[in-house]
Amino acid sequence: MKNQFCLPCLFLLAIINPLFAQNKFTNCSAAFLNNRMIVTEYSNKGKSTVSGKSTGELTVCTAEIGPEKCKAVEKIVFKVAIRGKESKTLVMYSDETFKQINIQNILKKCKKGDSIVLMTTDDQYALPHNEILVL
């Protein structure tokens, strides 16, 4: 009896499951400081750095990626953590989610060599350059 019941359930599950599956990481996003993309280039060669004296609004936005220029399109929510230089320990900056934040607020908790780590809250957004080295 068990096998007769399980087979139709598995078949039904196989049909319904793709209807609820979400495509992950289908939208490009990047970190921006004052509407300027932080990463040097949107490739696996790109580096993300900020000066410890940087000022302005830090955002994560969907992005139009082009050969000459990358443009911020829409702000998305994100969380912030700090990775310590020496221990490589990752600590949440805050429990809050942000659409923008003054970078000086984060840098107050950083030392040279630490990294600011940005995390999207929705897996539809790819954020490959999410770690920003503080110089």
23-82 pLDDT tens trace: 898 999 999 999 999 999 888 899 999 999 999 999 999 998 887 778 899 999 999 999
Per-residue pLDDT at 116: 98
Burial of 128 (0-12, 13-18, 19+ CB in 10 A): middle
Q: Strand (E) positions, the chain?
A: 27-33, 36-37, 49-50, 57-65, 70-76, 78-83, 90-92, 101-102, 115-120, 125-126, 131-134
Round to whole Å and give the CA distance between 119 and 135: 21
pTM score, two decimals?
Answer: 0.81
Under a CB-based contact definition with an 8 Å cutoff, are residues 98 and 86 in contact? Answer: no
